[in-house]
Amino acid sequence: MARRRPSTVHGIVAVDKPPAMTSHDVCTVARRELNERRVGHSGTLDPDATGVLLLGVGNATRLL
């Protein structure tokens, strides 16, 4: 079985959430772009709302 490479990205990322995307959708895009499994958001925004959404990446997910 192949071992998973340790994460190299850790930290807090501020994302400008566009309308029509859920907070979960933003996390999914971040997981794919950063090639990181552990991505979490600081709080749910309504799908129609825009604004800053904080994402924790890697070990920083515990801080949120």
Q: What is the b/e burial string over 10-22, where b = at least 16 CB atoms within 10 angstroms of the residue's CB?
A: eeeeebebeeebe
Spot the catalytic one: 16, 25, 46, 48: 46
With tokens 């971040």, the residue in question is 30
Please indicate whether residue 25 is annotated as part of the active site.
no
Q: Which residues are catalytic?
A: 46
